[in-house]
Structure 1
């Protein structure tokens, strides 16, 4: 990863002071608080937590404020801070079947045990500017909410009863931790999913869209999209059992994809999977589509040369912090390199003239 090199110390100090002044903006306008960002810009906070690999709404809101709203810079700040934190242990695998769903929809089955819950969504808004917000108008209170069911089965379980969809993988091996170990290829599905979970949302969205347009033959149905809180538990050796240490809000997406079968497997549906911190529907769906595209080899499908099927291309270019570092380093001084290129071009022009 490339980071900025130091130039003139006085110039850098002045640039930092100017940056702080620009961040504050017009001092006649009330300063934006971290609490306001956390409570009113929740989708931006959720994206920073997801791509920063750290679930902490307060820190994500602080990073957004410090970065002047640049979410990639905020992700960089969060990742840098996370490296300073001690690691006390690992939690048990989360059980999303016990999720307290605030939103749960399916594009494959209308009537579901537990029901479909629209929840807070832009899906049915008219995409018209609401000028009441500019006038600081009062927001009407939402209707009283009913308590979500304590346990809601996954939609894919209904298909699984008839053997119409592949079984979920039962791999008990501990996957590598991408936040502590560098990415290496070949990467199994667990490692690919980790990389996709913290990949840039725009990059993942673009890849997912490409699969829908034919670059991977990946037309999927959203079997289920659910958002809600899940308890986090951790084994305590001194107690001999697991205790709940908190909860996190997650977005989970399971897609249902066609599969023609093989000599050993009957025709059935296959799965794509996405799981992201916070309410991040676009990212979770994109992740599930790209996950399914990357599974072409294990399912015995043809590689049509689509970008979303290329594991190396996807995993090595999806990390926005690595991409930003490599891209932005070219604006730093390259005087010596350019002078050598300049002399080479002049020499070639002289030789051509002669």
Structure 2
């Protein structure tokens, strides 16, 4: 039916060849390596891992290289690869309280047990181009960590000691954590599934929603209780052994936003929390996730849904960048038959409009007759 698509297979093959040519770029320059992407474009690698739900720096770097730096395309590629991997089981919950912290800041307490750790951050840099980076110079020797890192207590534990913040909460007896990579979305969602969706949601979309909650489109007046980045241990429970074994460490970023709550019949006045946890160093995403998480907890605190960030179905249904990309970009596919139908309808409507205009005299004609 789509006559214009005839011969498309050869055209698609040539498009792929052209894409590979553009990806390689100038042959007089050395090809960028996976190791270079991992080592020097680490934040891009972290974002791709987080939104693809797969912690593998080398494979994420490969996806970035294959996609020519298109983050969403790289996420799409990595998710597709993830579906081919065998599944051996589920890890036990990660204990972020035992995180070996590399960066940790709080906007609520100046003096913290363990101190404020600035770590690697753009927060205090001047947003000016650095011409020295144009020259491929050897930099100083890499910095070494001073001694062994020790876990530091969380800010929420300080407030919990005074009973001023809601507890971590307990899952209902017999509750089986959901897995949105294997089960279709159903609303309303349990919070564990909702957090899964937010963890792999598009950073830009969640950032915009988080911003909206601070501009009055929500009921949040948050403080950054704590943002921390570091390594946590991942363990797998092996029934045949009767205990969990360590699989290694991964880098994550965790954020807890605290928000005032006036209390209700069921709960006293206290601070409530929004939570964000993502792969790698990804503070903007973790903070946005925690703001949106708190905004979506309207049912728990008997709050009215008055803004998009508080509407669970709206947020979760539109936060996935792979799904959103597919729906938007499918418009590039042939829609010739549909458009011809619309075109015929438009022409018929125009003819009918012109005929009515000729049959019904306008205001000028009426005035002349009078």
TM tier, shorter chain?
Answer: over 0.9
Matching residue within 276, 290, 293 for 2:292: 290
CA contact (8 A) 1:102 1:148 kept: no
How far the C-alpha of 1:150 sits from its partner, in A, is: 2.6
CA contact (8 A) 1:94 1:232 kept: yes
The alpha-carbon distance between structure 1 residues 31 and 316, as it changes in their structure 2 partners (threshold 3 A), is: same
Deviations 1:54-95 (A, max 9, x none): 000000000000000000000000000000111111111110
2:157 maps to what in 1?
157
Partners of 1:157 and 1:7 in 2: CA distance: 65
Which 4+ runs in 1 deviate beyond 4 A? Answer: 141-144
The alpha-carbon distance between structure 1 residues 104 and 309, as it changes in their structure 2 partners (threshold 3 A), is: same
How far the C-alpha of 1:244 sits from its partner, in A, is: 0.5
* Aligned-CA RMSD value: 1.5
SS at match of 1:104: strand
- Equivalences, count: 349
Is 1:107 aligned to residue 107 of structure 2? Answer: yes
Deviations 1:239-292 (A, max 9, x none): 221111121110000011011111332211100100000000000000000000
The alpha-carbon distance between structure 1 residues 344 and 319, as it changes in their structure 2 partners (threshold 3 A), is: same
How far the C-alpha of 1:149 sits from its partner, in A, is: 3.8
Q: Which runs of 5+ in 1 are unaligned?
A: none
SS at match of 1:133: helix
2:62 maps to what in 1?
62
Q: Which runs of 5+ in 2 are unaligned?
A: 356-370
Partners of 2:199 and 2:147 in 1: CA distance: 29
Deviations 1:281-335 (A, max 9, x none): 00000000000000122111222x2110010110000000000000000011110
The alpha-carbon distance between structure 1 residues 6 and 83, as it changes in their structure 2 partners (threshold 3 A), is: farther
2:362 maps to what in 1?
none
Partners of 1:222 and 1:9 in 2: CA distance: 54
The alpha-carbon distance between structure 1 residues 56 and 6, as it changes in their structure 2 partners (threshold 3 A), is: farther
| TM-score, normalising length: structure 2 | 0.92
1:238 maps to what in 2?
240
1:343 maps to what in 2?
344
The alpha-carbon distance between structure 1 residues 245 and 21, as it changes in their structure 2 partners (threshold 3 A), is: same
| TM-score, normalising length: structure 1 | 0.96
How far the C-alpha of 1:156 sits from its partner, in A, is: 0.5
Q: Which has the larger radius of gyration?
A: 2
Is 1:318 aligned to residue 319 of structure 2? Answer: yes
Is 1:137 aligned to residue 173 of structure 2? Answer: no
SS at match of 2:229: strand
